[in-house]
Structure 1
Amino acid sequence: MSQTAEPQLHYLEYYEDFLAKVRLLSRQIEQSGWLPEFVIGVGRGGLVPAVYISHQLELPMLSIDHSAKVPGFADELLAKVAAMSAAGTRLLFVDDINDSGGTIQYIRDLLEARGCANGNLRFAVIINNQRSRVEVDLWAEMIDRDEDKRWFVFPWEAVGTRESIVEEALSVPERLS
């Protein structure tokens, strides 16, 4: 796909469908035998599903912001989270999609560098790309990026302008071609 070609936008606009995916993730967490003490929403995309999951499981929620890419901001919070896991606190990170794996790998690397206890961490996403370079523990829907080139537009993103959505999609053309 060229930089100028229009991406195939796929709006996940039906609240009931989104809620069903969140409930599926919550059931998977409950049935896994591993219950977190905190749900951590990964900003921006993971914040909304994390809020729902924290309510569904009646667990407190924390948030970190990786998407703003403000130097040191997410890193400082992740250092605190790493210390919590090292002290034995079980933490579930929630994001909207594991596409390339870049966000989750960044978080894992930083947590490891800060001495976290990996056994106290789990990662859950609404959509998981089986071709991602990193694995997650739980997901509601599996896709294969070799076959599925849609750009997923989650309900909280759909309020943005079409131009901003297309611009974001075109900023990572390797996911679309």
Structure 2
Amino acid sequence: MAPDTPELSAQERAGKAFPVSWDQFHRDCRALTWRLNEVGPFHAVIAITRGGLVPAAIVARELGVRVIDTVCIASYDHDKQGDLKVLKSISAETAKLGGGTGKGLLIVDDLVDTGKTGRLVRDMMPDAHFATVYAKPKGKPLVDTFITEVSQDTWIFFPWDTALSFQPPIRDGAA
């Protein structure tokens, strides 16, 4: 990239916008749970924060799992992907439930994109079941269960990142 060229945001690089409403996200999480119900039972759910918090809560409720833990990994600011940084690991108590390798544990995230975060968590708990609501082609091989595949050049706008506002019709040049 030339020094005088501003860095593009992930959405500008991606080009395709995929807005997801709260209703749709909840339906997709329940659909994910239907698939996971046939795979379990699970001793605990581990949410990859922050994006995995909402789907993990829905999935844990639907599966009747009471132990919920987090692994906190920073990889995005609001629109740019950067280096991974583990802010908090899975607790020793939860790791023990999975025998140290994750067997019987369910890791949940909203999306697997490039697979960097998924690979890092897989290394922590190689035998855990990894589920995401959405999957892009580069990260899909790391996921055991997902609901919707979107193209690699799609930027998903999750309901917690958006506000309701008027959008011009597509025929008027809206993306």
Fold in common (TM above 0.5): yes
* Corresponding residue of 1:154: 158
Give, in whole Å, the separation in 2 of the partners of 1:58 and 1:70.
Answer: 31
Q: Could you tell me which residue of structure 1 aligns to residue 150 of structure 2?
A: 143
The 8 Å contact of residues 131 and 144 in structure 1, kept in 2 or not, is answered as: no
Counterpart-to-counterpart distance in 2, 1:97 and 1:72 = 18
Query: Cα gap change, 1:90/1:51 in structure 2, threshold over 3 Å: closer, same or farther?
Result: same
Greater strand fraction, Structure 1 or Structure 2: 2
- For residue 10 of structure 1, what is the aligned residue in structure 2? 18
**Bigger proportion of residues as helix:** 1
Once the two structures are TM-superposed, the CA of residue 15 in structure 1 deviates from its matched residue by: 2.0
Q: Secondary structure at the match of 1:109?
A: helix
Residue matched to 1:102? 116
Matched, 1:45 2:51: yes
Residue identity over aligned pairs, in percent, reads 23
CA shift at 1:39, angstroms?
A: 1.2
Distance across 2 between alignment mates of 1:4 and 1:135? 27
1:26 aligned residue (20, 30, 33): 33
CA deviation profile, 1:105-129 (whole Å, cap 9, x unmatched)? 11122335xxxxx2xx101101111
CA distance in 1, matches of 2:86, 2:51: 19
Partner Cα separation in structure 2 for residue 51 and residue 43 of structure 1: 12
- Distance apart, 1:132 and its partner CA: 2.1
Deviation per CA, 1:45-98: give whole Å up to 9, x if none. Answer: 0001101111111112222211278966423x3555433311686110000111
Task: Pick one of 85, 97, 114 that aligns with 1:84.
Answer: 97
* 1:129-159 deviation line (CA, Å, top 9, x unaligned): 12327421111101232xxx22111111225
3-state SS of 2:147 partner: strand
User: Measured at CA, do residues 138 and 72 of structure 1 come closer, stay the same or move farther in structure 2, by a change above 3 Å?
Assistant: closer
Unaligned runs of 5+ in 2: 76-82, 164-175
Q: Any idea what SS the aligned residue of 2:32 has?
A: helix
Q: Which secondary structure does the structure 2 equivalent of 1:156 belong to?
A: helix
Provide the alpha-carbon RMSD of the alignment.
2.9
Structure 1 Cα separation of the partners of residues 140 and 65 of structure 2? 29
